[in-house]
Chain A
């Protein structure tokens, strides 16, 4: 009689290991539920109308809100998008439609590199570029002196804008590549030039994906704190125009969280709740936009170098015929 296969010990290992993987998955998901639950519980309780309409008040006084930080975040994101989106979009079009050879490789490599640069390093860079140009004078600083030499919304927006470029570029690149070549050929066959085909056929075909990529990009930089610490800095009042320091939600959360005052902690929870709600909503809406489109939903989800992913997973080749 032959022994039964698999032997008992293998069956035991099987059950134990599979259970462990289930526990691991459960653990990770429960962390999310916990974070959400805790923030909603603590944040929503501390939230009131004042939070959205009033300026912060000194410690000890009742009331006060974070209206200036909310506006500051909106302004920073607007400026960041104005910088990051066009460059990312156009660069992505270049890579997908025109680029080949070593220059494209260099652009992709640099984009992944820039994507991997820690956000605090971007902060230092923009500090030395804009906030303290004396350290390292540049032509722009001489041309527009009023924007340079101090903390400002402008500097914060530039820092976030630089951080937005890589994902905007790579997601545009990816989604344009997903457009079938027959569409390109169809456009050209009708006598349209390449540029006309790109603008009227290819980009509309990839629009959903591109918009999704940009929304996720904005959601990601919305929570960035480190690059704002020494660019936008902070402000307890309204910040007028673009060349004064401004408050922003992430930085206020940080400052309030490490303060010793319970009332500030309460406000930090409220701000965290507002910030996270905005980010999650954007994420969910952005994904609904592309869900069911059969798109490659992978590339724009996380802040990761996409070329690396492609090569690692070996799922598709970067080389175009």
Chain B
């Protein structure tokens, strides 16, 4: 009995090798595993290389605003402030436009027109950020300086957020470029989600005599809400990590100002500008800690989005 079994196993081993199932499994498994390994390695590198700065400054790193390579004192607050402020403003400008455009493309435009326009909008998402930056410097800044900002300051100049001289580079300019960059994401995803809403959802309310807008806003949008929130999350994550376009129009001054028209700095921008020139281990370490902060924020937003989805899922299951 044993001998027969052994022979069978040997034969099947040869056959199995020939068929390649095990080999295919192992190779593909190794590739899948390597992604986890690369990500772990990334976290490990960021963590270990920022040790010097973490030990030197502790949590104060996140809460102080001195950034002085000469005396080797580093605090990240101006960069965190700039990153959060520009991303938030970008959402303020970008979300209404993006959601509005998505509603138009999904609910109003004929399907063929909608497809062509969506294709064009998605091409916008393929434009590299350095090109947005190029256009930002040479086209948007002059327009803002000449036409937009004087009008805003004339109308709302008494508000502290609009006070001060405008030199072109500013939080405001950066947020405008960011808004243009994130809108395609919001439009594309929200449109998909809106198109997936069942027709009955619209017809039920239409039958009651509601206007098109009421149908859309009170029946279709609530149904598609979580997908749209999802698109905003993704846009936010992108806005926070955006580097080149922001670096080119934010002014790169490590300060905290209430005025949106003042120049500032973001985490990604300071890394891009100072990393190659950084000398001294503590300086490099502080910049890597900034990268770690940026990475952590991305991860938290990812996790938040997932929690939100899990909550929605269980809610749905409860029905």
Chain A residues with a Cβ under 8 A of chain B = 5-6, 10-11, 13-14, 17-18, 20-25, 27-29, 31-33, 35, 38-39, 86-91, 93-95, 97-99, 103-104, 106-107, 110-114, 116-125, 127-129, 135-136, 162, 165-166, 169, 193-196, 198, 216, 219-220, 222-226, 229-230, 233, 250, 253-254, 257-258, 265, 268-269, 272, 275-276, 279-280, 283, 287, 298, 301-305, 308-309, 311-315
Cross-chain contact B227 with A313 (CB below 8 angstroms): yes
Cross-chain contact A225 with B126 (CB below 8 angstroms): no
Which single residue of chain B is at the shortest CB-CB distance from A87?
B31
Min CB distance B160 to A, Å, is 29
Cross-chain contact A222 with B48 (CB below 8 angstroms): no
Ordered by A's residue number, 19 sampled pairs between the chains whose C-beta atoms are within 8 Å are A10-B211, A27-B101, A90-B31, A91-B34, A94-B29, A94-B31, A104-B32, A111-B35, A121-B298, A125-B291, A193-B20, A195-B19, A196-B20, A253-B134, A269-B134, A276-B131, A301-B122, A308-B230, A312-B193
Enumerate the 8 nearest inter-chain pairs by beta-carbon distance, A residue then B residue, closest first.
A223-B128, A118-B241, A24-B100, A193-B19, A312-B230, A94-B28, A90-B31, A195-B20
Partner of A21, one of B24, B101, B287: B101
Cross-chain contact B42 with A91 (CB below 8 angstroms): no
Cross-chain contact A165 with B35 (CB below 8 angstroms): yes
Partner of A276, one of B127, B295, B313: B127
A104 to B201, CA, bound (A): 35
Neighbouring A residues of B256 by C-beta, 8 Å: none
Partner of B38, one of A10, A104, A165, A224: A165
Neighbouring B residues of A98 by C-beta, 8 Å: 25, 28-29
Cross-chain contact B104 with A24 (CB below 8 angstroms): yes
Cross-chain contact A21 with B20 (CB below 8 angstroms): no
Cross-chain contact A87 with B125 (CB below 8 angstroms): no
Neighbouring A residues of B24 by C-beta, 8 Å: 93, 194-195, 198
Min CB distance B202 to A, Å, is 14
Cross-chain contact A10 with B214 (CB below 8 angstroms): yes
Which single residue of chain A is at the shortest CB-CB distance from B226?
A312
Neighbouring B residues of A21 by C-beta, 8 Å: 100-101, 103-104, 107-108
Neighbouring B residues of A97 by C-beta, 8 Å: 28
Which single residue of chain B is at the shortest CB-CB distance from A98?
B25
Given A226-B243, A315-B196, A18 and B131 contact (CB-CB distance below 8 Å): no
Min CB distance A276 to B, Å, is 6
A222 to B129, CA, bound (A): 11
How many residue pairs at the A-B interface have CB separations less than 8 Å? 313
Cross-chain contact B101 with A314 (CB below 8 angstroms): no
The stretch that binds A, out of B3-11, B68-76, B271-279, is: B271-279
Cross-chain contact A117 with B230 (CB below 8 angstroms): no
Neighbouring A residues of B121 by C-beta, 8 Å: 28-29, 32
Cross-chain contact B128 with A276 (CB below 8 angstroms): yes
Min CB distance A295 to B, Å, is 14
**CB within 8 Å of A: which B77-103 residues:** 96-101, 103
- The size class of the interface chain B forms with chain A is 35 or more
Min CB distance B24 to A, Å, is 4
12 further interface pairs, Cβ-Cβ under 8 Å (given A91-B35, A116-B237, A195-B24): A14-B213, A24-B101, A28-B98, A94-B28, A94-B31, A95-B32, A113-B299, A125-B42, A253-B134, A276-B127, A298-B192, A304-B185
Neighbouring B residues of A38 by C-beta, 8 Å: 135, 139
Neighbouring A residues of B211 by C-beta, 8 Å: 6, 10-11, 13-14
Cross-chain contact A114 with B35 (CB below 8 angstroms): yes
A10 to B227, CA, bound (A): 27
Chain B residues with a Cβ under 8 A of chain A = 19-21, 23-25, 27-36, 38-39, 41-42, 45-46, 48-49, 96-101, 103-105, 107-109, 117, 119-131, 133-135, 137-139, 180, 183-185, 187-189, 192-193, 196, 209-214, 217, 226-227, 229-231, 233-234, 237-238, 240-244, 248, 268, 271-272, 275-276, 284, 287-288, 291, 294-295, 298-299, 301-302, 305-306, 309, 313
Cross-chain contact A313 with B188 (CB below 8 angstroms): no
Cross-chain contact A110 with B36 (CB below 8 angstroms): yes
Neighbouring B residues of A287 by C-beta, 8 Å: 119
Which single residue of chain A is at the shortest CB-CB distance from B276?
A230
Neighbouring A residues of B23 by C-beta, 8 Å: 195
Which single residue of chain B is at the shortest CB-CB distance from A97?
B28
Given A121-B291, A165-B35, A226-B272, A28 and B184 contact (CB-CB distance below 8 Å): yes
Cross-chain contact A118 with B242 (CB below 8 angstroms): yes
Cross-chain contact B139 with A20 (CB below 8 angstroms): no
A120 to B248, CA, bound (A): 15
Which single residue of chain A is at the shortest CB-CB distance from B299?
A113
Min CB distance B220 to A, Å, is 12
A275 to B230, CA, bound (A): 31
Given A195-B19, A257-B133, A311-B313, A28 and B230 contact (CB-CB distance below 8 Å): no
Cross-chain contact B298 with A106 (CB below 8 angstroms): no
Given A124-B271, A128-B288, A28 and B97 contact (CB-CB distance below 8 Å): yes
Given A24-B100, A87-B35, A124 and B288 contact (CB-CB distance below 8 Å): yes
Neighbouring B residues of A129 by C-beta, 8 Å: 41, 45
